[in-house]
A and B are shown apart, each in its own frame.
Chain A
Amino acid sequence: MADTVGTEGIKVIKAPRFRQLKKGETRKHIINVLVRNELGVLARIATLIAGKGYNIEGLSVGETHEKGVSRMTIEVIGDDIVIDQVVKQLRKLIDTLKVRDLTDIPHVERELVLVKVHTPTSRARDEILRIVEIFRGKVVDVSQETYTIEITGDEEKINAFVELLKPFGIKELARTGKIAMRREMFIEENVQE
């Protein structure tokens, strides 16, 4: 290869090496963002993600134990490379303190769901109560025709629970969106902040 350096008149066109960015599969990412609770910070983050053409699937925000610091958990479906860009650009925002894509890091996630379900018969009521018990949910409001149930858990558990209630007829459903936290490890892995 080296021998041909400087030789003119070589008429062979070498097929160009294809340097396409390897796009990963589109999948759901869960991103944790620690922010200063400043005016417009939510809008800044939403604008940035929307600017990449991605929709925010889930979002939860709340203050942490530190005053003026909030934690956001953002769920977004996207390509690995583009999400990597989003994470880098989130880090660039002046009001973000820490940004981490938790998707491939061991983490715990929870979501709180309130679901109002029809209870047409007493048999249905019994059945629903059994399901609630199995899933460690809680009935928080009762009317003559409905139960309102509170349940927490990860996505799989909640989806399974909702599926089981569907035959009874769901009247209303509200989800908080996920909150997530990295699992503490004995050996600190090398994670770029």
Chain B
Amino acid sequence: MSRKGADIVIETLKEEGVEVIFGLPGGAIMEVYDALYRDGSILHVLARHEQGAGHMAEGYAKVTGKVGVAMTTSGPGATNIVTPIADAYMDSVPLVVITGQVPTHLIGNDAFQEVDIVGITRPVTKHNFLVRAIEELPLLIREAFYIAGTGRPGPVLVDIPKDITQQLSEVGIPSEDKVKAALPGYKPHVEGNIQQIKKAAKLIMEAKKPVLYVGGGAVNSEAQEELIQLAEMMRIPVTTTTQGKGAFPENHPLALRMLGMHGTYYANMAVYNADLLIAVGARFDDRVTGKIEEFAPDAKIIHIDIDPASISKNITVDVPIVGDVKIVLGKLINELKRKGAKILHPEDRQKWIEQIEKWKKMYPLTYKNSKEVIKPQYVIEQIYEATGGDAIITVGVGQHQMWAAMYYKYSFPRQFLNSGGLGTMGFGLPAAIGAKIGRPDKEVFCIDGDGSFIMTMQEIVTAVQYKIPVKVAIVNNAYLGMVRQWQELFYDSRYSEVDLSLQPDFVKLAESMGAVGFRAEKPKEVREILEEAMKIDDKPVIMDFVVDREENVLPMVPAGKSYREMILEDGKKADAETMYLVG
């Protein structure tokens, strides 16, 4: 049957099982929006800025594991979504972004709203396409979904010139086999080399002081069962990155929680003293390793990752295993079982676990609470208690992001959504909207900073329009808090351009947009407001928590420094006195 290119787009999206598109129309993409209207079966969420649409699609993709879809027009519509695309690229989020383009005959003419978005996004997409003929339209869209969702996930952009959406064609929707056949250069390696897996099993059995270091790859491949099994069977403590949170429950006795710059004392000490580090779907980011030469200095390293380019990139590893985390861990567990799953030095292992328990008691995550002013950490703890630890949490970037990572305990995968790689302020609110659409059964909280919130706050209107009851908790210190903290610690408190005390009245702002606004200025009001907010289920709620302005995020390993130079809660340094070292 002959139909317009625009209808082919919608038909292909339906074939891919797309249930929601986040976007904002404009001239070059109008045909597709018309086809969307006529079809009527896909929910479209009208964002108020294309960046919002992109982060919503990310939030949706992160909680569901499905490919998120965003759609914008050409020119500024396309450039506005570059930040979410780069964000998705850094954090391996499966995304298909469809952009309109000026008609084919005008490309390269500096036409109205023309930009070379394929060129602009080349370094920040897993792949991208400019559609050159209507016949290839359905194939390229299907290729985009296949590439985005398999292997190491990532964003794929499809740029469609307007004339192609208007032409007529009888081209059919290609089968999955045809899609694969059209991509001879793309074969993700998922199985894992069995010889390497055997080597890894041997190291794990021999290890005296092993640590599992788990990243977002474990979440993407749904490997939580295997992780728990491996950790419990071989008694290995587990630390997770911000992306890996929830892949291993943080309330588990073997959990070390987060490592790195704002990691726990015990996680960092465990990694520093380990004799075997098993990296699972993690990439040795500089925020994790600190000074690379002193990262796990005595450890042999096993690295399981689906991306061969991640292996031995920042640190040379002893046993690289390229493959899907879930599959490789499954094989590793079988191999260990085949050998009797023996811990060859059980006494040493026992002492190791005991030592970690001592570290946990010596420096737990803690802060000095107050009856007069609200401490930001207290707000997070109260959210944890009010939601029973069961909410999905999204965050912006800065101090609040780290407090949310520290003082909320995550127990299931896809529970904590944050911009870990690119560090995009403004990620939280739109991601929460996407997350709530993907998981309407869960309470979704956006814990935001006042600086981050303002960057994408227009999306409150979107949440009101679609009756999306996300809860936004602004940890309001009227500062660009993380920058201020660095200025305090490393620039002799010269607070250069970080004061945000001229700010909107967030309660009135919420009300003006049709949302509900609350404010808490005293600690005792925090819980009351949270309980009130959670009763509202048909519109978003903005909670303004006016907190202690100059609270710092601690512990902290200064950028590029060793874990040995960790600054602790009381301002002390983790020095030789507190170290546990093996001669």
Contacts and interface: CB of A to CB of B under 8 A. Distances in A.
B243 to A, nearest CB: 19
Given A39-B130, A44-B122, A19 B292 contact: yes
Interface in B564-583: 576-577, 579-583
A91 B582 contact: no
Interface stretch (A94-102, A146-154, A181-189): A94-102
Interface in B251-297: 292-295, 297
Interface in A30-69: 35-36, 39-40, 43-44, 47-48, 51
Interface string B164-185: 0000000000000000000111
Interface string B122-139: 110011001010000000
Nearest to B308: A88
B345 A2 contact: yes
Contact of A13 (B184, B315, B581): B581
Contacts of B352: 5-6
Nearest to A50: B123
Contacts of A6: 348, 350-352, 354-355
Contacts of B298: 17
Contacts of A93: 127, 185
B351 A5 contact: yes
Interface in A1-42: 1-2, 4-6, 8, 10-14, 16-22, 35-36, 39-40
A44 B125 CA distance: 11
A92 interface: yes
Contacts of A21: 315-316
Interface residues of A, number: 38
A47 to B, nearest CB: 5
Contact of B184 (A17, A36, A44, A92): A36
Interface string B369-398: 000000000000000000000000000000
A73 B462 CA distance: 51
A103 interface: no
A36 to B, nearest CB: 6
> Among the interface residues B185, B354, B583, which one has the most CB atoms of the partner chain A within 10 A?
B185
Contacts of A16: 293-294, 297, 562
Contacts of B358: 8
A19 B132 contact: no
Interface string B102-133: 00000000000000001100110011001010
Contacts of A94: 126-127, 147, 183, 185-186
A85 interface: yes
A89 interface: yes
Task: Select the residue from A6, A17, A47, A51 with max chain B CB neighbours within 10 A.
Answer: A6
A94 B151 CA distance: 12
A96 to B, nearest CB: 5
Nearest to A22: B316
A93 B122 CA distance: 11
A66 B352 CA distance: 59
Given A19-B315, A92-B309, A94-B185, A10 B348 contact: no
Contacts of B350: 6
A5 B581 contact: no
Contacts of B198: none
Nearest to B577: A11
A1 to B, nearest CB: 7
Contacts of B471: none
A157 to B, nearest CB: 35
B309 A89 contact: yes
Nearest to A46: B122
A117 B432 CA distance: 69
Contact of A1 (B123, B577, B583): B583
B208 A10 contact: no
A5 B348 contact: yes
Given A10-B581, A16-B294, A85 B309 contact: yes
A88 B130 CA distance: 25
B293 to A, nearest CB: 5
B583 A4 contact: yes
B313 interface: yes
A93 B126 CA distance: 8
A14 B583 contact: yes
Interface string A74-110: 0000000000110011011111110000000000000
A160 B508 CA distance: 79
Nearest to A81: B312
B185 A4 contact: no
A4 B582 contact: yes
B209 interface: yes
A167 to B, nearest CB: 46
B356 to A, nearest CB: 11
Contacts of B132: 39
Contact of A10 (B119, B316, B580): B580
Contacts of B544: none
B308 A91 contact: yes
Contact of B582 (A1, A35, A39, A40): A1
A13 B576 contact: yes
A17 B298 CA distance: 7
Interface in A115-144: none
Contacts of A85: 309, 313
Contacts of B119: 40, 43
Nearest to B296: A19
A2 B348 contact: yes
B450 interface: no
Given A1-B583, A92-B307, 17 more contacts: A2-B348, A5-B348, A5-B351, A8-B355, A10-B581, A13-B579, A16-B294, A19-B293, A19-B297, A22-B316, A39-B132, A40-B130, A48-B123, A93-B185, A94-B186, A95-B185, A96-B185
24 contacts: A1-B582, A4-B582, A5-B582, A6-B351, A6-B354, A8-B355, A8-B358, A10-B580, A10-B581, A11-B576, A14-B582, A14-B583, A19-B292, A22-B316, A36-B184, A39-B130, A43-B119, A43-B122, A44-B122, A88-B309, A91-B308, A92-B309, A95-B185, A96-B185
Interface of B: 118-119, 122-123, 126-127, 130, 132, 147, 183-186, 208-209, 292-295, 297-298, 307-309, 312-313, 315-316, 345, 348, 350-352, 354-355, 358, 562, 576-577, 579-583
Interface of A: 1-2, 4-6, 8, 10-14, 16-22, 35-36, 39-40, 43-44, 47-48, 51, 84-85, 88-89, 91-97
Closest 3 CB pairs of A and B: A6-B351, A88-B309, A16-B297
